[in-house]
Amino acid sequence: MVRCFVAVDLEDPAIASKIAAIQEQLEAAGAKLKLVELENLHLTLRFIGEIPQELVERVVEALRGVEFTPFTVRFVGLGAFPNPRRPRVVWVGVEEGARELSELSAKVNSALAKLRLPKPEEEFTPHLTIARVKSGVGSLPRIIEENRSVELGSMLVDKFRLKKSTLTSRGPIYETLFEVKARGV
């Protein structure tokens, strides 16, 4: 079985370094956290889950047909699921490009629907997970509030990837299985 998902990787080092600075603040908050490694930061378009190896090739074929034009995303502000007072997941929001990400996610879902993969349970919300809260809250709500409108920068989305996720005791290891480039790239 292969655990996989479809995502846009964060590949801008300037944005990643700003996120690293925020992660340092989060770490000092007094909660027990699992920070997302900078090289693993991504916007999930669709979590697929565990599928048989034979199905991976069919997923690649389905994704090959997804067409989109390049667009810009702008990362602004911290938030949390289910909410900032009881954070389980701390994320960076997407201001510009949220509609395009939603449309791209819908195209991916439409392509994968032909393979009879179960539909996502939750509605797509564009976000970049930067930390998972294991226990405690500490001063996380205050830090999230103070960074509610922090500007982290913009990047061009001109590709998305099918990623394999191998879970280890140290955290997930991601591997790109297939890449889809935007039209004209």
Active site residues: 42, 127
In the structure encoding, which two tokens stand for residue 22, read together? 């925020």
CA distance 118 to 115: 9
In the structure encoding, which two tokens stand for residue 25, read together? 């603040």
How many residues are given for the chain?
A: 185
Give the rounded distance of the alpha carbon of 105 from its chain centre. Answer: 12
Secondary element (H or E) of residue 99: helix 98-113
Q: 3-class SS at 184?
A: coil
CA distance 14 to 92: 15
Cα separation values, 62 from 36, 55, 112, Å: 29, 11, 6
| Residue whose pair of structure tokens reads 């702008």 in the numeric block | 74
The percent of the chain in helix, strand and coil, each rounded to the nearest 5, is 30, 40, 30
In the structure encoding, which two tokens stand for residue 155, read together? 């990047």
- Name beta bridge partners: 80: 90
